[in-house]
Amino acid sequence: MNKEEIVQEIEELKLKKNALILAHYYVDGDLQDVADFVGDSYALAKKAVASNKDRIVFCGVKFMGESAKLLNPDKRVFLVEKNAFCPMADMIHGSDIEEYKKQYEDLYVVTYINSTAETKAHSDVCVTSSNAVKIVKKIQAKNILLCPDKNLGYFIKSRLEDSLSEKNIIIHDGYCPVHEEFSKEVLEKAKKDHPNALVLIHPESNPSCYPLADYIGSTSGILKTARESDCQEFIIGTERGILYQLQKDSPDKKFYFTDLKQTCEDMKKLTLEKLRDCLRDDLNEVFLDEETMEKASVPLKRMLELAE
């Protein structure tokens, strides 16, 4: 079966099953093309809630499908690939959060959406890279835990300005293996090769990159900055899958990556064939136990409220 035939089959199955297909910018371009909506983690969570379809099929890693299920308990949610995980999501567990709580009595737990449902169930609020600073600024508590990503944690802390003196920010030491590799040295080399390019990086990047960055933000923020800028060249400090949308938005602009691989292997496990099989055979449905559903949905719903 060729690509066009598989796409045709997906379109038919999508209608038959009344499914909404959501995709993250890091998955293969073919998947982005058949999706009903492509976005960053925050936009995808909002789309999942706004949908009136019977089922949601997620082209992304496990925490994204789990989050869609937590926000839509009455809908069936499916993952295109059940073995696509975000390694950072497993760098903290509920038991670690409970240990932190023993150390700080009034601890307010801010958990990146890149986390398991089990971890979310121990958290006060979830954030994504596009709403984290806004949400943390609204928190009244003195002791605030930012987890699991240390780099997003440092980024949030660097943007808190005045309110920082009243807050004690505790940062867990998880990280994204893809973004952690971006360092000052790597970006300096890229800047030397492309001196006229603007540097756009994701906040999961190592903080040593901040001084060299012209923009730090979510995948959607990087896309918006590249689209709206008068500059014609950009060094991109995030996963390579974003190139598909960058080129779609601005076909005449030039986008460079660094000498690093910049590839999220888990996102690359997804294929058109797997999406077709998932739709056709109802594969990889997301199930969460009742207690986790109840507890883990609270911080996600709070995120949607506070990000408004």
> What is the rounded distance in angstroms from the CA atom of residue 148 to the CA atom of residue 115?
7
Q: Residue 71, interface with ligand SF4 (CB under 6 A)? A: no
- Stretch of 82-90, 158-166, 210-218, 274-282 lying at the interface with ligand SF4 (CB under 6 A): 82-90
> Which one-letter amino acid corresponds to residue 129?
S
Minimal distance in Å, beta carbon 155 to ligand SF4? Answer: 13
Q: Residue 176, interface with ligand SF4 (CB under 6 A)? A: yes
Q: Residue 67, interface with ligand 13P (CB under 6 A)? A: no
Contact letters for ligand 13P, residues 102-131 (x by CB under 6 A): ------------x-------------xx--
Q: Residue 41, interface with ligand 13P (CB under 6 A)? A: yes
Query: Is 16 within 8 Å of 57 (Cβ atoms)?
Result: no
Minimal distance in Å, beta carbon 171 to ligand 13P? Answer: 18
**Number of residues this chain uses to bind ligand 13P (CB under 6 A):** 10
Q: Which does 129 bind (CB under 5 to 8 A by kind): ligand 13P, ligand SF4, none?
A: ligand 13P
Contact letters for ligand 13P, residues 188-217 (x by CB under 6 A): --------------x-x-------------
Minimal distance in Å, beta carbon 226 to ligand 13P? Answer: 14
Nearer to ligand SF4, 91 or 212 (CB): 91
Q: Residue 68, interface with ligand 13P (CB under 6 A)? A: no
Residues in the chain: 308
Sign of CA dihedral 251, 131, 68, 241: positive
Q: Which residues bind ligand SF4 (CB under 6 A)?
A: 61, 86-88, 114, 176-179, 204, 239, 264, 266-267
